[in-house]
Structure 1
Amino acid sequence: MNIQDLDWHDSQLLSVFINRKNPGLIDDIVFEINFTEDDTKQIVFKNVYWSSFEMNFGVIGEDSILYFKKSYDDPNILRIKEKWKGLINDVDLISYTIQLNSTASCIRVISKSVEIKDIL
């Protein structure tokens, strides 16, 4: 399944987990998202190089997703590669943006890949 094929609009963000149990080898960010009543998935961003969480809290209610965007030409990718001073120039990075409705929060992740897992 392609991540862009998921119905992101109005899906519910349930949780976010940052996995750094083995830094440098395992740098993953896991989102649990309820896409429909019967379809909750884990979205695992693998080999994360950068993330930004502009999260607003205090709103009583579900945090639904306004939109999801995948990009290969996000200016943050170039900025991250410049910080690494040539060490990751050959690494293909992808930018992902999740904009939330109810809190106007914005989550950005730059990683090498993404994995989609069904939650049973």
Structure 2
Amino acid sequence: MNFNFNDHYWHDSVLENIFIDRSDPGNNDSIEIVIKWHEDNSVSRLVFKNVYLFKAVMNFGIIANESIDIAYIAPSDDNDLVDFYSKWKGAYDHISLNCYVIKTSSTGSEIKILAETVEEVHLQ
């Protein structure tokens, strides 16, 4: 999957679910996000594999769909990515991570995932 908009139109797509799999910590750390795509109402599960950081700032208590404003891969100078490598003092320098960012239309809502890869699984 090309996370930077070539496969789907992110804007106004709906974030339906987030699943965190820590059943085998260190060996299988993954995040799954279910998205209902705006352009055709199809549904996909995005599976982020080999996750090293998950940050979510989200608003709750608001009765509305959690629609996506924008999603992208952050540049290599993203603060969370730089901080991760700095904190581990070279222990993970051999691992190439992407910083995946999903911002929703709720004020201030943002999800950041540092992971090696992301795959798309079509559900509908």
Task: Give the TM-score of the pair, scaled to structure 2.
Answer: 0.90
- The 5 A counterparts of 1:75-114 are 75-114=79-118
Deviation at 1:7, TM superposition (A): 0.9
Deviation at 1:15, TM superposition (A): 0.3
Within 2, Cα distance between the matches of 1:21 and 1:71?
A: 28
Runs of 4+ displaced beyond 4 Å: none
Within 2, Cα distance between the matches of 1:72 and 1:46?
A: 19
Deviation at 1:3, TM superposition (A): 2.2
Within 2, Cα distance between the matches of 1:66 and 1:27?
A: 26
Residue pair 1:72, 1:93 contacting (<8 A) in 2 also: no
Within 1, Cα distance between the matches of 2:101 and 2:56?
A: 10
Unaligned runs of 5+ in 1: none
Q: Secondary structure at the match of 1:77?
A: helix
* Other-structure match for 1:10: 12
93-102 or 68-77, which moves further after superposition? 68-77
Residue pair 1:57, 1:103 contacting (<8 A) in 2 also: no
Residue pair 1:17, 1:29 contacting (<8 A) in 2 also: yes
- The 5 A counterparts of 1:15-94 are 15-36=17-38, 37-73=40-76, 74-94=78-98
Within 2, Cα distance between the matches of 1:84 and 1:61?
A: 39
Unaligned runs of 5+ in 2: none
Residue pair 2:3, 2:72 contacting (<8 A) in 1 also: no
Question: Alpha carbon RMSD of aligned pairs, Å?
Answer: 1.4
Identity of aligned residues (%): 35
Aligned length: 120
Within 2, Cα distance between the matches of 1:103 and 1:75?
A: 21
Residue pair 2:16, 2:33 contacting (<8 A) in 1 also: yes
Match for 1:2: what amino acid? N
Q: Secondary structure at the match of 1:3?
A: coil
Q: Secondary structure at the match of 2:37?
A: strand
Q: Secondary structure at the match of 1:78?
A: helix
